[in-house]
Amino acid sequence: MNILTWFESNIITVLSLEGAIAQGIIWGIMAIGVYITYRLLDFSDLSVDGTLGFGAAVSAILITQGMDPYLSLLIATIAGGLAGLATGIFNTVFKIPPILSGILTMIGLYSISIRVMKGSSNIALFQYKRITTPLNDWLVSLGVAENAVTNLSTLIIGVVFAGALIGILYFFFGTEFGTAIRATGSNANMSRALGVNTDLMKVVALVISNALFGLSGALIGQTQGAADVQLGQGAIVIGLASIIIGEVIMCRKDHSFWYKLCAVIVGSIIYRIIYALTIAPLGQSLNLRAYDTKLITALIIAIALAIPVIRKSLAERRLRKANDKKFTNVGGNENA
């Protein structure tokens, strides 16, 4: 079977993979937000499940009211930041544990999102102007196949936004203020001893991460053509899976911060590809269904977490063998 024949017989799978790559970048923005709280701040923020849908809801309702779709993205980002502020206040002012703080925000945002969407749990956006609309028209004018336009426009938008955000975050966390946030996550006691207001650092980091959640949710809603209050269900698992996959495949301790952020995006793309393969004909031929994605995700995370341990164990075993060989050679020389 040649490549053309395979492509024709698996066109649905190919299109699914194209969409997975495009959506992987958009979801990767959310994963970067999880990286900020989970890796940099050492804060288990579960509010992402609510903030993602909240961002989508805010952007969608504003678009239906005639607002420019790019301006709606900005407002959704700000709304997400306010959700992060609430989580930060719960934790730093009321001394509620991190996990419970995120859960409280997540639960509250579910009701708020439905109120924002005027009592509806979802809003369709296909008939409204979105950020993909002018790009879709331009791609069609270039002769791009209609069934590939949506994926390609989503890919372009994702690359632009993700690239810009990685650059901004790399610059910010390289400043004195950004370094203080990273130091707070590494050793809060030492940071306080050096005069750092660790509570303020936590709140700022949570505002930034949740702003990314809101932006990602708004982008997902606009590129998919619908906003749903359940959009963020399981988002924390997707974010953690993206981080772990990216780190295992691409990262070492000496890699720079921007490289690690790129690795998170790559991990998100790989996760979405696995998801697409599960529900595409390839997955169906293996008797996999959409409800198997949770099990597959759990297996992927387990394997990704096990790989560093296995690598370390193999390295220690090789070191022991080398030392044993060295001592054997030394002992043999002394006997001689």
DSSP 251: -
How far apart are the C-alpha atoms of 315 and 240, rounded to whole Å? 26
How far apart are the C-alpha atoms of 210 and 101, rounded to whole Å? 13
pLDDT at 6 over 50: no
Quickly state the pLDDT bin for 9 (edges 50, 70, 90).
very low
Mean pLDDT for 279-299 is 71
pLDDT at 172 over 70: yes
pLDDT of residue 200: 97
How far apart are the C-alpha atoms of 198 and 189, rounded to whole Å? 9
What are the pLDDT digits (tens) for 27-57?
999 999 999 999 999 999 999 999 999 999 9
pLDDT at 23 over 80: yes
What are the pLDDT digits (tens) for 221-235?
999 999 999 999 889
Closest CA to 215 of 11, 15, 33, 91: 33
What are the pLDDT digits (tens) for 89-101?
999 999 999 999 9
Residues 6+ apart with CB under 8 A from 221: 55, 56, 57, 59, 60, 125, 227, 228, 231
Strand-pairing partners, residue 123, are 227
Quickly state the pLDDT bin for 334 (edges 50, 70, 90).
low
CATH fold for the domain made of 17-126+141-330: ABC transporter involved in vitamin B12 uptake, BtuC (1.10.3470)
Average pLDDT across the chain, whole number: 89
